[in-house]
Amino acid sequence: MGVDVFFVISGFVIFRSIAREWEETGDFSWRNFTMRRVRRLGSAALFMVAVTLLAALFILDSIDFQLLAEAAISHLFCASNFYFASSLGYFSGASELYPLLHTWSLSVEEQFYIAFPLVVLLVSRFGSPAKRLKNLERVFWWMAGVSFILCVVVCNNSPTHGFFISPTRAWEFCAGGILALRIQVKDSKGESLKWRGLLFWIGLILVVVAFLFMSEVKYPKFQGLVPVFGSVFLIAGLVGGPGRGFSHPVVVWLGRLSYWLYLWHWPFLALKHHVLNSDSVWISGFLFLTGFVFAVISYYLVELPLRFRLRKGTAIKVIVVSWIVILGFSLAILSGALGKEFSEMDQSFRKDVDWYGEEFRGINVELGIPGDEVDFVVWGDSQAGMLTGVFDRMGKDRRLVGRGFVWDTLIPVIGHPQLIPEKTAFNQAAFAGILEIKPAVCILVSSWEAYLKDVEGAERARERFLAMIEEFEMRGIRVVAMRRIPFGLPKGDARSVLLANRFPRWNAVEQYGVSKQEFSESRVLESLFFKEVGSKIEVLDPLSVFFENEKEQVEIFDEHAHYRDIGHLSWSGAERFMPRLWEPVFDGLADQRKKRTSEEVK
């Protein structure tokens, strides 16, 4: 929501300035506009990036340090939004670990500063001076309409790109620009917007509603109209309306600091996650105050000198030299000439921290060795995804051909009512694909309990599941299902274990998680689901390998972290626990393939 509001405000402020310049001088200087923006925004961001890189030198491990250098370079070339759109989702769990993630919105704004002045210059070539603002407003309406349609279309197919890329954000910037042009036209005629007081309160209500009730919307498509229109109405009301109180000196001072507050808030929070696994309110409050202090210092020691005290030419030279130095520093980090060596800890823990089986997500993804005669397929949600690395390795070791049908948050049951349409369609495609492939074994893995809802839901799901199993039996496909793994500790994930090893004085992780009894009692619906299914298929229970040798609690780590997060195994955890459970199945498939091969030879 904050980004939507930010782009509307930015569009208004910038085009308010351009419109005034146009009215007063009869012309628009792209050079002067660009220099003002560079001295205002560019200098501040460069200072923040430089300080963040220096702090990261002492905090981040070698892998994260190189990722930060990549992000810094993308920011220098005004392309952070494209970098992060291709490397992660803004709402993924890992997003909080990127100290420069917030620069994506600056890159979008910088791209607007390049493109929109060109539109202004182009429009100024046509029509009389009196009609320029009106013509520009018409152009903005068309651009806003095209951008909004593009936003909806792209978000339906790729929400991450819809969130990050500038063409899907242009309509928000245009909304602020249209308001600025409309107000300028009214002011030049000595008129005023009607009902400004009402607009202010409507806008305030819309923005508050957006923040309070739309926080779970990952990227608002049509819903984005609420904060955008709210921002437009709010600004319209503030310009000469009941918002005159916002011109109080303290409010104005905070407004001048707001950009610096935005720049500093995220790096502090992100770097904290690389040092502490604590979410203490006191720590967050301390970091907020620290960011505020940095904002004040930066405003008076960086922004004011570069904008008002130094000559324009001197300020630009300082900014250019800073840009070159940061680029050279970042390239040196990437080349290995500067920074840290890859330690054993980096190499041993990072796979557990980062690997999530993304390369095995999708329909009919290759596992094991290449081949047409498929020995096994894996179908399921992220629980299946966490095992694909082990299944792939076990398949290769035994010369078995495998396929994967894996996507997050779905139960491998055709027609299950709890799934959204996209997941239902994926299940149907997976089912049809497996029937066509006719593997020797179909492996089903899921967090079953999460999709069953209640007793009645479990029984309905079981009926659909049994009907699906009959289809497999008719095709001669053996089915093996694995029940859910024990969950770990909230702070027993791979990154918490990594931090406990890197900064042992500040972090601690308990070695044991859920008890055997507690875990058993949490699987009531799952047990009901498999009550009659167990006689039709083979059901593997991971309880035996997690609580072996009479252990009463699951082990979270030894020399490696066993859990990537609270509900998924890490690479090391999957390699530790799963082979013992699945070896009989894969050994049996290997024996079958050898038998078939020997018969073919005869």
State the pLDDT confidence band at 86, using cuts at 50, 70 and 90. confident
For 97-110, what is each residue's pLDDT tens digit?
899 999 999 999 88
Sequence length of the chain is: 602
Of 587 and 187, the structure prediction assigns the larger pLDDT to: 587
Structure tokens at 522: 């949490």
Q: Phi, psi at residue 141, to the nearest 5°?
A: -60, -45
What pLDDT score was predicted for residue 91?
43
The 10s digit of each residue's pLDDT in 250-291 is 777 888 888 888 899 899 989 998 888 877 788 888 888 998
Burial 587-602 (b: 16+ CB within 10 A, else e): eebbeebeeeeeeeee
pTM: 0.77
| Tens digits of residue pLDDT in 364-373 | 999 999 988 9
Helices of type H across 61-158: 62-76, 80-87, 103-123, 132-157
pLDDT band at residue 114 using 50, 70 and 90 as cut-offs: confident
| pLDDT (0 to 100) of residue 185 | 66
Q: Whole-angstrom Cα distance, residue 521 to residue 555?
A: 18
pLDDT in tens, 338-393: 766 656 666 667 788 888 888 899 999 999 999 889 999 999 999 999 999 999 99
101 is written with which tokens?
């993630």
Contact residues for 352 (Cβ-Cβ < 8 A; gap 6+):
494, 497, 498, 560, 561, 564, 570, 571, 572, 573
Name the percent of the chain lying above pLDDT 90: 34
Long-range contacts of 92-98 (CB under 8 A, 24+ apart): 93/565, 96/269, 96/270, 96/273, 97/64, 97/270, 97/273, 97/274, 98/67, 98/68, 98/71, 98/270
Helix (H) / strand (E) containing 362: strand 362-368
Task: Go through the domains of the chain in sequence order and give each one's CATH number.
Answer: 356-485+515-549+578-591 (3.40.50)
Beta strands, E only, 371-474: 376-380, 401-406, 441-445
- Report d(CA 413, CA 445) in Å as an integer: 11
- Higher-confidence residue of 534 and 419: namely 419
Exposed (0-12), middle (13-18) or buried (19+): which is 344, by Cβ within 10 Å? exposed
Q: What is the mean pLDDT of residues 549-565?
A: 85
CA 183 to each of CA 5, 15, 25, 186, 193: distance values in angstroms, whole numbers, following the listed order: 19, 11, 18, 5, 7
Side chain identity, residue 223 = Q
The interaxial angle of helices 281-298 and 43-59, nearest 10 deg, is 140
Residue 569 three-state SS = strand
Q: Give the separation between CA 39 and CA 597, rounded to whole angstroms.
A: 73
Structure tokens at 403: 């396929």
**What does residue 595 show for φ and ψ, rounded to 5 degrees?**
-65, -45
User: For 402-440, what is each residue's pLDDT tens digit?
Assistant: 999 999 989 999 988 878 888 999 999 999 999 999 999
**Beta-carbon count within 10 A of 467 CB:** 12
94: helix, coil or strand? helix
Show Cβ contacts of residue 231 under 8 Å, excluding neighbours closer than 6 positions: 4, 5, 8, 9, 175, 176, 203, 207
Angle of helix 132-157 relative to helix 103-123, nearest 10 degrees, comes to 140
Q: What is the pLDDT of residue 191?
A: 58
User: Does residue 188 surpass a pLDDT of 70?
Assistant: no
Cβ atoms within 10 Å of 14's Cβ, excluding its own: 22
